[in-house]
Amino acid sequence: MPYLHHLGLSTLDKLMISNGDADHIGGASSLLTNMNVIEVTGKDIEALQHPQKIPCATGQNWQWDGVEFYVLHPALNQIESQRNNHSCVLKVSNGNESLLIAADIEKKIENRLLATQIDRLRSDVLIVPHHGSKTSSTEDFISAVQPRYALVSAGYRNRYGHPKPEVVRRYKDAGSVVLNTADTGAIELIFDAAPGIQPVLYRQQSQHYWNADLTH
């Protein structure tokens, strides 16, 4: 909420919730209470108070201002024993560059995407599945996506040890630049920048002493 207000936004055209874990859905009720949200889509959204709720499903797609959005997973009415594996997976492309948001999917779903959606996986930027957990990011999946940037959403000194060192190594061995929010703070990506995608890292932009490098 504070960040969206900082940007001067009062309306969201679409709020997409990848799954019902607290670190994915935790701020949704606050957004729905304090902002004009036109549509809510995603998984585990049944309890949210909103008149326009749509479950995400493979094949859903839309375009805004020349940017294409496509849902790769899950199939409609697909039931998974693990909540992580019914996460919404979203591909965003502007025609030149692309972003793949893989939420919390694990190896099982990575393999399914390799079998059914491999032509859509290649992306310049990947939000690393399940925060860099060892349950995800197989070599075959990384090879199919070929991300220039692999972004990890993780808390500083989180209790799960995300991202796992062996997962980070896999991405680096594949030639990806790995950026971790625990080290960089918020990551903003500027697309269509010269000479390509330009990441803007909050801790490099903010000069406050408490944003000093925490990795040393």
Is there a single domain that holds both residue 29 and residue 123? no
- Number of domains observed in the structure of the chain: 2
pLDDT digits (tens, 9 = 90+) for 30-78: 999 999 999 999 999 999 999 999 999 999 999 999 999 999 999 987 7
Is there a single domain that holds both residue 69 and residue 39? no
In whole angstroms, how far apart are CA 66 and each of 61, 95, 96?
13, 8, 11
Is there a single domain that holds both residue 49 and residue 152? no
Is there a single domain that holds both residue 168 and residue 68? yes
Is there a single domain that holds both residue 138 and residue 206? yes
Q: Residue 118 is part of a domain; what is its CATH number?
A: 3.60.15.10
Task: Say whether 202 sits in a helix, a strand or coil.
Answer: helix
pLDDT digits (tens, 9 = 90+) for 151-171: 999 888 888 878 999 999 999
In whole angstroms, how far apart are CA 147 and each of 110, 124, 160?
15, 5, 24
Is there a single domain that holds both residue 155 and residue 206? yes
Q: What is the pLDDT of residue 211?
A: 54
The chain-wide mean pLDDT, for the chain, equals 91
In whole angstroms, how far apart are CA 123 and each of 33, 78, 97, 168, 183?
34, 25, 7, 18, 23
Q: What is the pLDDT of residue 210?
A: 54
Given a cut of 50, whether residue 216 has pLDDT beyond it is no
68 inside domain: yes
1 inside domain: yes
Residue-number span of the structural domain to which 39 is assigned: 1-54
Tell me what the mean pLDDT of segment 8-36 comes to.
95
Q: Residue 190 is inside which H or E element, if any?
A: strand 187-190
216 inside domain: no
Given a cut of 80, whether residue 209 has pLDDT beyond it is no
Is there a single domain that holds both residue 151 and residue 180? yes
pLDDT digits (tens, 9 = 90+) for 81-108: 788 999 999 999 998 999 999 999 999 9
Half-sphere exposure for 201 (CA within 13 Å, toward CB): 16
